[in-house]
C-alpha cells in the first residue's frame, strides 16, 4: 500500500515543502558517516529554505543595482541628508510649539541669598581654575574688565553653560550644574568685578565690559 495516499491534505503540503523522507525509508538515504553510533541522513534541502535563499539573492542583486549602478535614482547620502533636515525641522517645530520648555530667563541676581548660593557653586566648581578670589590661574582673571567671550549676565551664563573656546577653554557645565545655579554663579562672577585679588592674573581678551 502506498502510504503517500493515506496522508491528509496538510501532511501532503508539509511533504512538498520539506521533501522529508518517511521514517520507514531512512535506510535509503543513510550515509556511511558514523560518529559514536550516530549516523547521518542525506536529506535534500527543504524547498521552502531553497526558495528563501533564492529570494534573498534576488533582493541582494536588486539592491546592488539600485545603489551602485543607479545612483541618480537613489543615494544614501541624499537620503541621510533629507532625514537629518526632516529631524531638524521637527525639532524646530517642537520648540516653536513649546517655547516654555526652552526659554531661559537669564537675569542678574543681586540678593544676598542668591550670591551666597553662587559662591558655593563657585567654590565647588570654579576655584581650581580661577582661584577663590577670582584672580585667575589656569583660567582667566574674573575681576578685571577684559573678557575673552564677552562679559555681562547673558554672555557669562552662556559660557558657563556651553563652555569656552573649543580645545582649550572651560568645559560646558550645563549637564552638571542646574540652570538656577548657573544663574547664581554667573551673578556671583559679576559681583567680583572691581575687587582686588591677592595675585591677579594679567587681563586676557579684548572685549571690555564692566558692571559699572
Could you tell me which residue, 202 or 99, shows the higher pLDDT?
202
Hey, where are the domains in the chain?
3-54, 112-208
Distance CA 96, CA 92 (A): 6
pLDDT of res. 74:
67
Distance CA 41, CA 27 (A): 8
**CB contact at 8 A, 153 and 108:** yes
Q: Per the structure block, which three cell numbers stand in for 154?
A: 547673558
**pLDDT category of residue 19 using cuts at 50, 70 and 90:** confident
Which is the CATH superfamily of the domain at 112-208? Cytochrome c-like domain (1.10.760.10)
Least confident of 20-34, 79-93, 185-199: 20-34
Assess whether pLDDT exceeds 80 at residue 31: no
Give pLDDT tens digits for 105-148. Answer: 788 999 999 999 999 999 999 999 999 999 999 999 999 988 99
Distance CA 133, CA 25 (A): 94
Give pLDDT tens digits for 160-175. Answer: 998 988 877 889 998 8
φ, ψ dihedrals at 91, nearest 5°: -65, -45
Assess whether pLDDT exceeds 50 at residue 38: yes
**CB contact at 8 A, 205 and 146:** yes
* Closest listed residue to residue 196, CA positions, set 143, 146, 137: 143
- On average, the pLDDT of the chain sits at 84
- b/e per residue, 115-136, with b = 16+ CB within 10 A? bebbbebbeebbeeebbebbbb
Amino acid at each position: 500500500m502506498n502510504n503517500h495516499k493515506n496522508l491528509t491534505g496538510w501532511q501532503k503540503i508539509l511533504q512538498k515543502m520539506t521533501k522529508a523522507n518517511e521514517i520507514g525509508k531512512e535506510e535509503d538515504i543513510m550515509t556511511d558517516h558514523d560518529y559514536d553510533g550516530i549516523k547521518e541522513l542525506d536529506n535534500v534541502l527543504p524547498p521552502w529554505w531553497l526558495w528563501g535563499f533564492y529570494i534573498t539573492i534576488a533582493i541582494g542583486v536588486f539592491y546592488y543595482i539600485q545603489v551602485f549602478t543607479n545612483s541618480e535614482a537613489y543615494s544614501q547620502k541624499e537620503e541621510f541628508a533629507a532625514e537629518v533636515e526632516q529631524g531638524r525641522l521637527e525639532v524646530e517645530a517642537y520648540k516653536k510649539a513649546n517655547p516654555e520648555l526652552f526659554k531661559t530667563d537669564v537675569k542678574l541676581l543681586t540678593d544676598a541669598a542668591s550670591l551666597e548660593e553662587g559662591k558655593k557653586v563657585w567654590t565647588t566648581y570654579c576655584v581650581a581654575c580661577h582661584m577663590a578670589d577670582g584672580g585667575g590661574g589656569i583660567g582667566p582673571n574674573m575681576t578685571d574688565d577684559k573678557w575673552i567671550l564677552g562679559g555681562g549676565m547673558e554672555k557669562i551664563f552662556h559660557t558657563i553653560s556651553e563652555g569656552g573656546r573649543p580645545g582649550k577653554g572651560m568645559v560646558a557645565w550645563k549637564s552638571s550644574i542646574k540652570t538656577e545655579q548657573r544663574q547664581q554663579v554667573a551673578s556671583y562672577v559679576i559681583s567680583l568685578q572691581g575687587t582686588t585679588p591677592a595675585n591677579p592674573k594679567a587681563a586676557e581678551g579684548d572685549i571690555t565690559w564692566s558692571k559699572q
